Structure 1
């Protein structure tokens, strides 16, 4: 298979389809996005910053060191100090894409009223880019954001 150089504009166009989304991996997260590579990196960095803040700030609220260890390592802890699976985040280019992906999970519910959602059944957090607001995940989590976390 021959590889060839493509321009940034062609690369961006290829990644607009979420099936070809950019994948940004960090210590704790896998961010998949079709917004832009740069925006995906920004979101991943913000999530890592928030993760560190959460662990440092709330460590004392757990009843035992074992509970804290389980929180940090997650299910299937390897004992290496790293989660065996990253937290997965899907970050869509448009609200329409976000709604199209999530609406089938909730027939009869207007998913369009949310701007972020976490599905426990597949353990994926869903967001979409909105140029009108602060798109950082921390901004969405800290204010009245319409985030809905279904069981």
Structure 2
């Protein structure tokens, strides 16, 4: 399997713990004049990341309580329901959200946080059959995906 790349970024010190996952939402308006804003805002908006290592570098921050700490992150896999015919390990898919039933119990798995519609992902694992949980009767599988 390919080596997983890490990237150094800054996160709020309170959140700087190995294993914590977050979805990068983009630059805050309070970042405007900060000298280290490029180090904080070097991730891809809408993608899910997992903190793997904490570094000793600390900066004052107008956004985060107790400042910001340097961490190493990697893109985290995301569990998602996709069409059964696309659910093959190591296959590349372009994510298209096909359901908008917000009241469906499966909605969070059909449109998970950390997945950007229209982007390409690789299926890293097929976790199981999920056809019985789709209120529209679609043939689905629960998979784990990572950005390509």
Query: For the superposition of Structure 1 and Structure 2, which TM-score range results when normalised by the shorter chain?
Result: under 0.3
Highest relative contact order (Cα 8 Å, sep 6+), 1 or 2?
A: 2
Larger helix fraction of residues: 1
What is the TM-score when the length of structure 2 is the normalising length? Answer: 0.23
What is the TM-score when the length of structure 1 is the normalising length? Answer: 0.23
Larger strand fraction of residues: 2
